[in-house]
Amino acid sequence: MSTSAPVLQVRDLQVAYGTARGSLAAVDGVSFDLAPGESLGLVGESGCGKSTLGRGLLQLLPPGAAVGGSVELDGRELIGLDRQSLRRVRSEELALVFQEPMSRLNPLMKISSHFVETIRAHQPDISRDEARQMGRAALRQMGIPPTRINDYPHEFSGGMRQRIMIALALVLAPSVVIADEPTTALDVIVEAQILDLLDRLRYDENVGLLLITHNLGIVAETCDRVAVMYAGRIVEIGPVEQIFNAPQHPYTQGLLSSVISMDTTELSSIDGAPPDLVDPPKGCRYTPRCPERFEDCPHIDPVLGEVGPDHRAACLLHATAYPQAHAEAAS
């Protein structure tokens, strides 16, 4: 893990959607740092807020969504920026690699047109020929023959389309890349190739990587730290080795127990379902599903407290997770 100052600092990030039943807090008070060249894995069940968090950082959200808190990129606050300033930040400084590249690439446009449109939207003084040349260089970096820049998206395999999406995200040399399930629906060989590309970006270009995934195996192999999300909040965050070897939150323990390996003799799962985020339960949101719940859990909302070196968990099994203890430690 890099010891450099954070390139991305997120504090109390909140993203809420309006619904007929009221406001739904899809991301509720998330905070973390990301250093240059560091890879942070973001894991959790479907619907826990991972993808919303990624889009919230870039404020790429549907109309009516409300964003609050603070997102600082290289010391510059992004929350509250006007639309034009945000457009300049996207791709140039903070980029997002979407899931399912076929749904993000325009089937009627050649790959060259995708690059020209992206590059000239940010750097209008660059000619179309120069933009195409930049696109060829980006494709070459991803292991795609530059001569294929004039092909259409349907002429590429799924793995190559994902590489094109990564090339589009990187062509303007951002300092942070958010990769949202970048290996979904890819076979294990192509998955390994994509992860190797992302790894090289970290080491060769010092790019900070936020890897959003449900695949704990990928996190174990490629990330420095991991953040576990549940019901819109981070419930545990710390070094991969510490969390995988000694998880301190019952939800993290449940997720890790659910992973199938060559040694698995019995299937394991977490009972129940995530809570309704329009009207979440009081106290710890994991209480209804937690096998270790006790009398304080339905009444006290835990905070992320220190449970080890650079390791925090929001569970009342640890005294540091009580709000009072957290307030005393901060004073």
DSSP, residue by residue, 190-213: HHHHHHHHHHHHHHHH--EEEEE-
Assess whether pLDDT exceeds 80 at residue 225: yes
Residue 228 pLDDT greater than 70, yes or no: yes
Distance CA 322, CA 324 (A): 5
| Region class of 228: left (phi > 0), else alpha (psi between -120 and 50), else beta | beta
Find the range with the poorest average confidence among 90-99, 141-150, 311-320.
Answer: 90-99
Q: Considering only 50-59, 70-79, 96-105, 282-291, which range has the smallest mean pLDDT?
A: 96-105
pLDDT for 185: 67
Query: Which residue ranges form the domains of the chain, and what is each CATH number?
Result: 8-93+174-330 (3.40.50.300)
Residue-wise pLDDT for 271-308, tens only, equals: 999 999 999 999 999 999 999 999 999 999 999 999 99
pTM, rounded to two decimals: 0.91
Distance CA 160, CA 148 (A): 11
| Secondary structure class of 283 (helix, strand, coil) | coil
Mean pLDDT over all residues of the chain? 91
CA 104 from chain center: how many Å?
18
Q: What pLDDT score was predicted for residue 1?
A: 46
Tens digit of each residue's pLDDT (9 = 90 or more) over 92-109: 899 998 877 667 789 999
User: Percent of the chain having pLDDT more than 70?
Assistant: 96
Distance CA 8, CA 34 (A): 5
Between 191 and 286, where is the model more confident? 286
Angle between helices 158-170 and 128-141 (to 10 degrees): 120
Q: Average pLDDT in the 143-162 region?
A: 91
User: What's the CA gap between 119 and 103, in Å, rounded?
Assistant: 20
